[in-house]
Amino acid sequence: MSIARITEISSTSKKSFEDAIQSGVARATQTLRNVRSAWVKEQQIKIDDGKIVEYQVNLMITFVLDDADQGDIA
């Protein structure tokens, strides 16, 4: 049996939504153990002078908690 937790993160990119997603997942996996999935909760763009200058995604990251008998805390 495994127990998972979901946490929300926000990631931005000046290139694209895809780049924001890739950066967010890469950063989450540096900090969280046992990352299993993610989904995009929200997307938005920042516009300056009629042009898109930033892409932002809010990601829901799912990671499996370590077993309690190992003494680890995720």
What's the confidence (pLDDT) of residue 67?
Answer: 80
What's the confidence (pLDDT) of residue 2?
Answer: 87
What's the confidence (pLDDT) of residue 35?
Answer: 97
Q: Any idea where the domains of the chain sit in the sequence?
A: 4-66
| 28, 13 Cβ separation under 8 angstroms | no
What's the confidence (pLDDT) of residue 55?
Answer: 98
pLDDT in tens, the chain (74 residues): 789 999 999 999 999 999 999 999 999 999 999 999 999 999 999 999 999 999 999 999 999 998 866 555 54
As assigned by CATH, the class of the 4-66 domain is alpha beta
**Rounded Cα gap, residues 8 and 29, in angstroms:** 13
